[in-house]
Homo-oligomer: A and B are copies of this chain.
Amino acid sequence: MTISPLAPAAFPDLPVIDGVTFATAAAGVKYTDRTDVMLALLAPGSTVAGVFTRSATRSANVLDCQAKIGTDSDAGAAIIVNSGNSNAFTGKAGDGSVARICAGVASQMDLPEARVFTSSTGVIGEPLPDDRITAKLVELHANQAADTIADAAAAIMTTDTFAKGTSAIVTINGKPVKIAGIAKGSGMIAPDMATMLVYIFTDAVIGRDALQSLVSTQNDVTFNCITVDSDTSTSDTLLVGATGASGVDVTGNSDFADALHGVMLDLAHQVVRDGEGATKFVTINVTGAATDADARLVAMANANSPLVKTAIAGEDPNWGRIVMAVGKSGAQADRDLLKITLGDLVLAENGWRSPDYSEDAAAAYMQNQNITIGVDLGLGTGTSTVWTCDLTHGYITINADYRS
C-alpha cells in the first residue's frame, strides 16, 4: 500500500516511559507475515482512564473495557490489542473471546482480570480466533521491553499506511514528566468518541478520577473534532495509563494538561493524515456562531459533506458548496452575515461573492496540501475547529474492495 502523501517523514523517536513495557507477536489472526498483537504492561500503582465509542453496536472488547475502567486498583495493568479482526457483532462468542483473552493474560502476567484491557480492530462480524492470541502470551511475556513502543504502533495497524506516534516532555517543579502515545485508524473515522485505537502512557502521578476527567475534556477538543468519512467505528478506544514513575504529581497542572492536549491533537491529526485516500489535510474554523454547539454543527456539516470534500480533492474553490453545508447543518445562519475564507482569501461576505474575490487566487490556494476553510456566521461568539481530509478516488478504491 502506498504511504499517504500527508504522512510525517518518519515515525518519531519516543521517550521511554518508566513503568511501561511492550511486546508484539505475529499471531496470524488474519494477516500473515506481520505482527498483529501488542501487549503493554503497566507497573503496579498505575492509573488508567479511557474514552470509548458511543456506538450502540460496540464490540465485546469495548463493553468489557467500559465495565472495568471506573475501578481503582493498586495492581499493575495490561493492554492487549489485536489487528485483523474487530470482534464486533460476534455475539456471545465475542464475549467469550474477550473473557478467554483476559483470563489468559491475567494468569500469564499475574494480574487480576479486572486490570486486563483488550481491543480488537479489523473486520466486523467474523469470529475472533482468540486461541491464536492466547497461544502467544508466553512469548509476549518473555519479550517485554521498555523501548519497543514503535513496534507496538506497527502491530495495531489495519488499513493504515503509516504507524502513528508522538510524545511530549514537560518540566514540572523542575522535573521532567514524559508522555508517549500511539494510534491506529484511517477509515470508519468519525467523532462521538475517540474514533480509533489510541494508547497513551505517562510517568506522571495522577489519580484515576483526575486522569479520567482530564482525558475526557481533552478528547472533546481533539479526537472528537476529527472525521474522515462520518462513519463511527464499533471499536473506538482511547486508553491513557499513568505509571507515576516520575514522582511528579500533575493533578490540576495546566502544563501537563497542555502537553497531553498536544499529544492527543497530534495523534488525531495523524489519523486524518492517514484518512483513506486522503491527499489534503483540511482545517475548518467556524467563528461567529450563535453558540459553540452551532459552530460545531457547521464545522462537521462541512467536514462530512461529500460535495465539499470532492471539491477539495478537485482543487476547486467551489465555496457554493460551503454555503450549502452551512445551510443544511441545522445551525442558525443569516445569508447576509455569512463570511467564507480560504486561508487569508475572503471568498464571500455580506451574502455574496466578495468584491475582492479572485478565482485565480482561490484556485492557486486550493493546490496547497494543507487547506484552511474559515466560516464566520456573524451572529455571536460560538467557535469550533475540526479537521478532516478530502474525498478521492482512493477512498472508493480502498472501500469498494476491503473485505473480499
On A, residues with C-beta under 8 Å from B are 53, 55-58, 86, 88-94, 123-127, 187-188, 190, 192, 229-234, 304-307, 310-311, 313-314, 316, 318-321, 323-336, 338, 348, 350-353, 363, 391-393, 395-397, 399-404
Is there an interface contact between A351 and B89, defined as CB atoms closer than 8 Å? yes
Is there an interface contact between B232 and A314, defined as CB atoms closer than 8 Å? no
CB distance from A101 to the nearest CB of B (A): 18
Max chain B CB contacts within 10 Å: which of A190, A229, A333, A351? A351
Is there an interface contact between A55 and B328, defined as CB atoms closer than 8 Å? yes
Is there an interface contact between A323 and B88, defined as CB atoms closer than 8 Å? yes
Q: Which residues of B contact A319 (CB under 8 A)?
A: 125
A93-B352, A190-B328 given; A313·B124 CB < 8 A:
no
State A231–B89 Cα separation when bound (angstroms).
30
Choose among B125, B332, B352 the residue that contacts A323 (Cβ–Cβ < 8 A): B125
Which chain B residue shows the least CB distance to A231?
A: B307
Per assembly, the copies of the chain total 2
Choose among B93, B190, B304, B327 the residue that contacts A57 (Cβ–Cβ < 8 A): B327
Q: Which residues of B contact A404 (CB under 8 A)?
A: 314, 316, 318, 363
Which chain B residue shows the least CB distance to A310?
A: B399
CB distance from A361 to the nearest CB of B (A): 14
Which chain B residue shows the least CB distance to A403?
A: B318
CB distance from A346 to the nearest CB of B (A): 13
Choose among B89, B306, B328 the residue that contacts A395 (Cβ–Cβ < 8 A): B306
State A57–B93 Cα separation when bound (angstroms).
50
State A314–B398 Cα separation when bound (angstroms).
10
State A9–B303 Cα separation when bound (angstroms).
38
7 nearest A-B residue pairs (beta carbon) = A124-B320, A314-B400, A57-B327, A91-B352, A55-B327, A91-B351, A310-B399
Max chain B CB contacts within 10 Å: which of A231, A327, A404? A327
Q: Which residues of B contact A397 (CB under 8 A)?
A: 393
Q: Could you write out 7 A-B pairs with CB less than 8 Å apart?
A: A55-B328, A90-B352, A91-B351, A231-B307, A314-B400, A316-B404, A392-B396
Is there an interface contact between B400 and A231, defined as CB atoms closer than 8 Å? no
CB distance from A192 to the nearest CB of B (A): 7
Which chain B residue shows the least CB distance to A192?
A: B328
A399-B307, A400-B313 given; A57·B350 CB < 8 A:
no
